Amino acid sequence: MPRAASAAAALLLSVQGAPAAGEPAGAAGKAGGASRPSVTLDGATRAVRWIDGDTFRVLDGPEAGRSARIAGYNALESYGPVHRWGAWRPAELLSVAHQATARARSGQWRCTGGGGEDRYRRLLVSCPDLALALVGDGLAMVFAVGDPPGEGLLAAQRSAQQRGAGMWEKGVPPRLPSSLHSADEPDLEGGAYDRIVDTRTGTAEVSPHQRTYRVCQEVC
């Protein structure tokens, strides 16, 4: 997700949850040993650098230099604003974020483009096997804007929540922030907002605010 300046502590402290759990889902294949991370994008192998569990930068081919945001799920922040709820400490959830990045880096995933780009000019791509793997391991949450999420992905999340996997180990709040946008962030049409996700349906809603977040406000 884009790094909007930093952590909404008051909002994040307000969410609470119940116990949870899950089954890991399969990957499209493993990249062996020290091989360079790559994805198969529209049938062609592309070397990539993983920024976090839901974003990568393409290093070669026609898309070289472009960042790509994977649709359908959201991984936790890997720096700056870190989610916080229940008994979690920020550093513990930062560790979950790093696990998501490592999991993405470890596989050879099949992805397709054609989704246009977001407001940050990142390519919007779909990587179904990776989505199932991270959501099923509790390393990401279902994230749906506009179209409803697939039932298979929601089922993987329910399984992870029931088992207490990954981010659901210490409970399942009914709603969680997914992306945070500071009031001083440039080019925000309509003002600052956070996206809040319903952890049962995966639906993301906009929550306007006037807060200013600092980079590394909680942890880096």
Burial 196-205 (b: 16+ CB within 10 A, else e): bbebeebbbe
Residue 182 confidence (pLDDT): 76
**Of 69, 67, 93, 73, the residue nearest 12 (C-alpha):** 93
What pLDDT was estimated at residue 20?
33
Q: What is the pLDDT of residue 8?
A: 36
Span 42-62, pLDDT tens digits? 999 999 999 999 999 999 999
Q: Residue 156 and residue 21: Cα distance in Å, rounded? A: 10
Given a cut of 60, whether residue 34 has pLDDT beyond it is: no
- Res. 137: pLDDT tops 90: yes
Given a cut of 60, whether residue 31 has pLDDT beyond it is: no
Cα–Cα nearest to 166, from 213, 80, 102, 118: 102
Q: What is the pLDDT of residues 54-98, one digit of tens each?
A: 999 999 999 999 999 999 999 987 665 567 788 888 889 889 999
Angle between helix 128-136 and helix 90-106 axes, rounded to 10 deg: 140
Which residue, among 52, 116, 85, has the nearest Cα to 197 in the 3D structure?
85
- Among 135-139, 177-181, 192-196, 212-216, which is the least confidently predicted range? 212-216
CA separation for the pair 35, 17 (Å, rounded): 40
